[in-house]
C-alpha cells in the first residue's frame, strides 16, 4: 500500500505484462498507475495523485480530497431492529457492531488478495 496526500494506492503484479500495476482506492474517480520497479511505481503513484489533484482543482476550483470516514447507509426498519438487537446482545453500539461485521466480511472477501 502507498499513501500520498491521504490517497491510498494498492499495488499488484501483472504477470502477463511483467509490470507492477496500481489503483487509488479512495478517490471518486478511477486512478491507475504502473511501473517496472518499486521506485518507479511509487513515483508514478505520487504523480498520478498530484496530477489528479491539479486537474480537479483546475476544473472545480476546489481541492480534491480522498473519501474517508463516515458513510451513511439506509436499512429497512426490520433490519435496523435486528442490528440494534444483535449489537445490544453483544454489549456494543450499532456502529461498532456494523463495523465489526463489515471488517469480518471484507477480510473473508479479500483473503486471497495479495497486497
Domain count, the chain: 2
Considering the domain boundaries, does residue 18 fall inside one? yes
pTM, full prediction: 0.59
In this structure, the answer to whether residues 10 and 37 fall within a common structural domain is yes
* Per-residue model confidence (pLDDT) at position 115: 45
* pLDDT at position 19 over 90: yes
Considering the domain boundaries, does residue 67 fall inside one? no
In this structure, the answer to whether residues 83 and 47 fall within a common structural domain is no
- The residue-averaged pLDDT of 21-42 equals 92
65-100 tens-digit pLDDT? 887 666 678 889 999 999 999 989 988 788 888 878
Considering the domain boundaries, does residue 14 fall inside one? yes
Q: Report how far residue 107's alpha carbon sits from residue 38's, in angstroms, rounded to the nearest whole number.
A: 26
Determine the structural domain holding residue 31 and report its residue range. 2-60
In this structure, the answer to whether residues 9 and 35 fall within a common structural domain is yes
* pLDDT at position 22 over 60: yes
CB 80 within 8 A of CB 88: no
3-state secondary structure of 18: coil
Amino acid at each position: 500500500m502507498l499513501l500520498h496526500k491521504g490517497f491510498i494506492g494498492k499495488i499488484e503484479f501483472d504477470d502477463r505484462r511483467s509490470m507492477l500495476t496500481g489503483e487509488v482506492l479512495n478517490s471518486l474517480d478511477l486512478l491507475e498507475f504502473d511501473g517496472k520497479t518499486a521506485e518507479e511505481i511509487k513515483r508514478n503513484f505520487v504523480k498520478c495523485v498530484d496530477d489528479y489533484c491539479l486537474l480537479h482543482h483546475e476544473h472545480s476550483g476546489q481541492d480534491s480530497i480522498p473519501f474517508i470516514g463516515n458513510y451513511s447507509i439506509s436499512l429497512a426498519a426490520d433490519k435496523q431492529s435486528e442490528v440494534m438487537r444483535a449489537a445490544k446482545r453483544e454489549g456494543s453500539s450499532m456502529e461498532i457492531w456494523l463495523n465489526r461485521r463489515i471488517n469480518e466480511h471484507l477480510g473473508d472477501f479479500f483473503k486471497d488478495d495479495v497486497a
